[in-house]
Amino acid sequence: MDQWADLHSVVLLTKAVTSKDNGRRDDLDLNRLFTYLNGQLPFVLTDLRPIRKNVFKISTAEKQYILKEFSPGNRLRLQETFTSSLKHEGFDQTYQFVDLAQDAPLYFQGKLFGLLDYIPSAEHPFAYNTSKNREDALSLLYHYHETTAKLYPRYKTLLPAFNQMAKWTDRLTVFKQNSTLLKLFIHGDLLEEFILWAKWSLAGMKETFEWFETQPKVVLHGDVAFHNFLRGKNGRLYLLDFDLISNGHAYADYLQYANRILPSIGWSFHELQSLQILKPYLSEKGFLYGLIYPTDIFREWNRLIRGRMYNDRVKIKNVLDMTFYQLEKRRTFIHDIKMEIGS
């Protein structure tokens, strides 16, 4: 057996032992959390199971709830207040917090938890793979913005201001700093192509800065990925997870939404134009410049390197697939955008 094979075997064995150790520790922590909750809540739990990172489903004989871990500080109370404000303004397509703990808020092993309504979900998880889902999500986002435009004055001093240019400039800087490692996975010429797209996009957005400032001020959701929408068993669509809410212009959520659905529509500018709510934005140069920025590529590679996950073959494969999947279609899309802008 050669040296690489020996090393690979040791790595696999170490991962297997670590995985078993982590599994036992996780089970122990889950049992302790189960015991703590039974002492805090006015009912007997029959089940506690993780459904996402830092999110759990808890069951009683009669009902289910969602238990979610929150960041330190005022993030839990802020979201409790915000979701209550949404409901008060008539936006009922989200969850509400439930205050049932004996010693509120729930605080276990240095972690803060909130208890939420459980929304029974449809048989199939929500995804952007159908035109109905894409249109329903966009309509719900539009309704959310209509509501949060009313809430903006109230939350103006409570939430951070969102700055798209600053965020994307920082993301580009980090991507360039990671270029030495990135060249182990992506050819240098392609890395440079991604960087040129970003520079061209940011330059164009800077030129059209005045348009961005004329857009309505709202409370932005900030993370309109498919997993933050839930199709209820009743057929209604719900918007979830307000961890990244901020004050800003509505275009920012729509720009992120467009970027999230583009792989599902084969990077087709024509398909994007078929979405009525986006049509006014697609006639604006500033928004079109924003569509060119390779935010998904920068986000995922920067995250992978920040988390030192470049030895994880599964994660590497997923990010490589995302990078190269439909690359030629993305290039055609960027060409179409440039033609639309007239440059």
- 260 contacts 137 by C-beta, under 8 angstroms: no
pLDDT of residue 189: 97
- 149 contacts 218 by C-beta, under 8 angstroms: yes
Q: What is the pTM of this model?
A: 0.89
The residues near 63 (Cβ < 8 Å, ≥ 6 apart) are: 43, 118
d(CA 330, CA 335) in angstroms, rounded, equals 9
Spans in the chain with pLDDT lower than 50: 1-19
Within 179-249, residue ranges assigned H as helices are 179-182, 188-207, 209-213
Coarse DSSP helix, strand, coil percentages of the chain, rounded to the nearest 5 percent: 55, 15, 30
pLDDT of residue 75: 85
Looking only at the bridges linking them, the beta strands covering 229-231 and 111-117 are unpaired
Closest CA to 328 of 157, 136, 130, 193: 193
23-to-30, 213, 242, 308, 309 alpha-carbon distances in Å: 10, 50, 29, 21, 20
The residues near 219 (Cβ < 8 Å, ≥ 6 apart) are: 82, 148, 151, 152, 155, 159, 245, 246, 247
pLDDT of residue 71: 80
pLDDT of residue 72: 73
pLDDT of residue 9: 41
